[in-house]
Amino acid sequence: MLTRPELAFLMEAHSGLSARIAEEAGFEGIWASGLSMSAMLGVRDNNELSWTQVLDMLEYMSDATSLPILVDGDTGYGNFNNFRRFVQKLCERGIAGVCIEDKIFPKTNSFLGENQPLADVDEFCGKIKAGKDTQTHPDFTVVARVEALIAGRGVDEALTRAHAYVEAGADAIVIHSKKSTADEILEFCRQWENRAPVVLIPTKYYRTPTDRFRDANAAMVIWANHNLRSSIQAMRDTCAKLKAQETLLEVEDAVAPLADVFALAGAQELEQAEKRYLSTRDPARAVILAATRGEGLGELTADRPKCMVPVRGQSLLGRQVEALGRHGVSEISVVVGYREDAVVVPGIRKVENPAHASSGEARSLALALTQGEGDTIVSYGDILYRPFFLSLLEEAQADIVLLVDPQADPAAGGQLLRDAVACSQPHDADLEVTGAPVFLTSFVTDGTAANGTFIGLMRANAEGVSRIRETLAAMEVEGTLDTADLGAVLTRLAGEGERIGVVYVRGYWGNVNDLMDLAQARDAV
């Protein structure tokens, strides 16, 4: 990330949870902020946390994410000997790099006070050399943070120190400033002439357009404390509401669903592991219906099906496979058709529907449900959803269960959407309190009032899979299978007395049918 031509971005994190959220958002790397880790434990950013306490926190962060982590190592927690021990322990925990600043231990946060004392250049260079000599992984990165501008000593001293630090072995330079404009930062970059990668932390000069950093040949930008600051504001708002109102009614819709907390913590993986190691039940399976091109996306699907269109650098299908894998799904069958050769995602089994252009979802589902009797998740190939949706499906008691969004207007633009559904009762606040079961009445294809939109994600247990197979077989005999969509199959089952469960979900998902949907897809992931 430091050496590639494109500008890279690191997102601040201070815990395993915030690290996982940063990864979920699509960031490529993490800044483990000393300020944020200190504040999270209620202490000052003045080396009041010991380096062993920081290591404990980093271990949880490293375990929680696959992203590279650059650690805010303050001044290195002492002299060269303290720093080289710290580097050794970071390497043992799979941390990608450490940034140390050229100030005196114990440090003072850069945004507090004036004329902060700086470390002796030779002493700091020795610290850098000790770290580089100690690292046990060839790609471990030592970044030197130059505080000359923070101390008011100007660009010339900043350049002198930066040149010395790179000569000592630093892999990159952080040039830091607390001014509200980036003038001296950009002047440093101009005179630096890209001798080594430069990292910027625009906390104070946040009004500067990011393209100016690109023009200055900066290698990386760190969003240094914004997860922490946003969480403080959110917690204050929640506390104030609960103190004033003494009820959860006005709070519940504004906070993350409890199932999201469990999903971020990996509860579903433990559940699947228990099924694997403590029972003889078949492992969960998934079927993704992804045979169509997706005409609404124009040239984006000229050489690939809709499921392979990228969102934030990862295909729709890739995101689904990742979510299913985190949930412990061991077998993922993807029904392909249009440009099946372009469907390349590790960990899937492709099932070809040669008649994809003239048949619908029912035929694709029949081709995929030919083996296995365990729990099966069925998904459209063009949807995005939060991973905790899979836990909601698993927790439901019905043999077949659908996720329905009551807020998604089933009659948007005056035209009834094809996945509009009528249910045994509409969604309301009382329903959430009582937990009363809701069942599918039918998919709506006429003027009948609808209660929401099927989001394209369902689950069937072994009994449910068996009944779906029986219905598909009957439709094959009748000659109606090729013209049927999934809604027709489920409506028939409901009409024959099958109690198909409905779980209402509000938001946190999206489907991609056209370019507008694609532009809005980031809100669903």
As annotated, the active-site residues are 45
> Quick one: 156 exposed, middle or buried, by C-beta within 10 A (0-12, 13-18, 19+)?
exposed
Distance in angstroms (rounded) separating the CA atoms of residues 147 and 101: 7
CA atoms lying within 13 Å on the CB side of residue 365: 32
- Are 132 and 176 spatial neighbours (Cβ–Cβ below 8 Å)? no
Q: Which helix (H) or strand (E) holds 162?
A: helix 154-167
Distance in angstroms (rounded) separating the CA atoms of residues 366 and 476: 9
The answer for residues whose C-beta is within 8 angstroms of residue 478's C-beta and 6 or more apart is none
- What one-letter code names the amino acid at 108? T
Comparing C-alpha atoms, which of 77, 505, 459 is closest to residue 268? 459
Comparing C-alpha atoms, which of 482, 477, 485 is closest to residue 445? 485
Distance in angstroms (rounded) separating the CA atoms of residues 229 and 227: 6
Comparing C-alpha atoms, which of 434, 459, 446, 437 is closest to residue 504? 437
Angle at 69 between CA 18 and CA 136, to 5 degrees: 145
3-state secondary structure of 40: helix
**Which is it for the CA torsion 439, 443, 447, 451, positive or negative?**
positive
3-state secondary structure of 393: helix
What is the per-residue burial (b if ≥16 Cβ within 10 Å, else e) of 51-81? beebbebbbebbebbebbbbbbbbbbbbebe
